[in-house]
Structure 1
């Protein structure tokens, strides 16, 4: 499964290995989710990589195992 996901996308494999968290912004000392309009291009690509990894995992597992 890991090889299949790595073949799909290197970032997808990385999201499985180290996890993924949404971007956080520090506003007036409070941590909040970073608005989508202010995210960098890399921050926009990471959620897609995580979704690709989840999709590959769900599609690679038998429905009874799921």
Structure 2
């Protein structure tokens, strides 16, 4: 598994989880989905560790982030 930054936004989460943005929006309202740790001017950010834990609990395999 590739290295991930300590925080991620929606674009990174769609890549990590291998889902579309519209599917991510559906997941965001579920009580088991992690809450963002902050809302910045660029949008909401989440702890990568919380997203990893969610993926494990949901039985999802994380995908590597595309190289930038």
| Fold similarity call, TM over 0.5 | no
Structure with a larger share of its residues in helix: 1
When the two structures are superposed, what TM-score results if normalisation uses the length of structure 2? 0.29
When the two structures are superposed, what TM-score results if normalisation uses the length of structure 1? 0.30
Larger radius of gyration: 1
Relative contact order, higher structure (CA 8 A, sep 6+): 2
